[in-house]
Chains A and B, each alone.
Chain A
Amino acid sequence: MTSISHTLSTHGWWIVSRSSGIVAFVLITVSVMLGLTMAGKPVRDPQFAKNLRAVHEQTAIAGLVAIGIHGLGLLLDPWLKPGVSGIAIPFTLGPHTFWTGLGVIAGYLAMLLGLSFYLRRQIGARLWRKAHRATIVVYVLGLFHALGAGSDTGSMIFLGFAVATAVPIAILFVYRLGATRRNSERRRAGVRERARATSRALYDTV
């Protein structure tokens, strides 16, 4: 019988990479879900919103750490031997070159969009908010990467989790798009109302 120690010596880093990949996917999924929930503003309670934001940030950071461990595990895997270029350059690592490439891009985007939160004063809150909306792309790329290149796509637990989270994320995303449109319409109506009031005041003074 193959011993556990032998499995760990030959497959240890690969198991680390697989486990951290699943953890990263779960954390990013939860973070994206919370972010979309916050953006849609379904609850007006400020304390609840504050708590949601705290968990959103914590899961995002933990997800980034898990993505880093996922890449490191692949890099140290003695069987795959991807090299730094295989990990860092998209579409260079086989055998699932395309799906692995999507994962590399998702990792870069996650780092860029996630860590930009701490630079929002430098880059401007408005620009940051616009860029942060693209985080949904990280989730979509990560989902395709996991389904295409993941070793656990055949697992019913993983598939169940992916479907169970993809559906609410899609609903929340549509709700958020609607909320954004409603907000901009409200803002435009406010501007129009203010302009009308100003012109009326001017007319009265004249």
Chain B
Amino acid sequence: MTTPRPRAVVIGSLSLFVVLFVVLTFEISANASTSKGTPKAKTTVKARPAPTEAQTDAPEPERQSEYAEPEEAGSEYVEPESEYIEPEPEYEEPAYEEPEYVDPEVEEIPPVVTSSS
């Protein structure tokens, strides 16, 4: 019985590598073709989008809306009742009394006579 040579391990490892490489390549290609070019996460591929055939020609994928479109306001909106009551004016305009006109007394001033030569 001879000691096993490393060749067997090297050939076995390389064979396994090649088989896995080919299988994974075909799997990823198949997944990409079934997803029809949309960058969709696959079940076997974590956190990586599948390759697209031609990223420039591919139609813009419809993004699944992750946020809800806000509903139109008004259906459930109830306008709050106005609690504001306009205060009654407390200002009373004073009654206008017409002033009695008193003719001012004019003092008569005697004319000043000047002598002229």
A55/B4 contact (C-beta < 8 A), A6-B51, A7-B25, A7-B28 known: yes
**When the two chains form their complex, are residues B51 and A62 in contact, meaning their CB atoms are under 8 A apart?**
no
What interface size band does chain A fall in? Answer: 35 or more
**When the two chains form their complex, are residues A151 and B9 in contact, meaning their CB atoms are under 8 A apart?**
no
The reply on A194 being an interface residue by CB < 8 A is: no
Chain B residues whose C-beta falls within 8 Å of the C-beta of A20 in the assembled complex: 17
Contact with B along A14-57 (1 / 0, CB 8 A): 11101110110011000000000000000000010011001100
The residue on B at minimum CB distance from A16 is: B21
What interface size band does chain B fall in? Answer: 20 to 34
The minimal Cβ–Cβ distance linking B19 to chain A, given in whole angstroms, is 8
**When the two chains form their complex, are residues B9 and A62 in contact, meaning their CB atoms are under 8 A apart?**
yes
A2/B20 contact (C-beta < 8 A), A15-B25, A155-B44 known: no
**When the two chains form their complex, are residues B29 and A62 in contact, meaning their CB atoms are under 8 A apart?**
no
Contact with A along B12-47 (1 / 0, CB 8 A): 010011001100111011001100010000011111
Give the residue of A23, A26, A79, A151 whose beta carbon is less than 8 angstroms from that of B46.
Answer: A151
**When the two chains form their complex, are residues A7 and B46 in contact, meaning their CB atoms are under 8 A apart?**
no
**When the two chains form their complex, are residues B32 and A2 in contact, meaning their CB atoms are under 8 A apart?**
yes
**When the two chains form their complex, are residues B48 and A27 in contact, meaning their CB atoms are under 8 A apart?**
no
**When the two chains form their complex, are residues B44 and A152 in contact, meaning their CB atoms are under 8 A apart?**
yes
**When the two chains form their complex, are residues B16 and A58 in contact, meaning their CB atoms are under 8 A apart?**
no
Complex: how many Å from CA A152 to CA B48? 13
The reply on B6 being an interface residue by CB < 8 A is: yes
**When the two chains form their complex, are residues B29 and A95 in contact, meaning their CB atoms are under 8 A apart?**
no
The minimal Cβ–Cβ distance linking B107 to chain A, given in whole angstroms, is 109
The residue on B at minimum CB distance from A79 is: B48
The reply on A3 being an interface residue by CB < 8 A is: yes
The residue on A at minimum CB distance from B53 is: A2
Chain A residues whose C-beta falls within 8 Å of the C-beta of B4 in the assembled complex: 51, 54-55, 58
Chain B residues whose C-beta falls within 8 Å of the C-beta of A54 in the assembled complex: 3-4
Chain A residues whose C-beta falls within 8 Å of the C-beta of B3 in the assembled complex: 50-51, 54
Give the residue of A4, A95, A155 whose beta carbon is less than 8 angstroms from that of B25.
Answer: A4
What are 30 A-B contacts defined by CB distance under 8 Å?
A: A1-B33, A2-B33, A4-B26, A7-B32, A11-B51, A15-B25, A15-B28, A18-B20, A18-B24, A19-B17, A19-B24, A20-B17, A22-B20, A26-B16, A47-B1, A51-B4, A54-B3, A54-B4, A55-B9, A58-B4, A58-B10, A62-B9, A62-B10, A62-B13, A80-B48, A95-B46, A96-B46, A149-B46, A152-B44, A154-B43
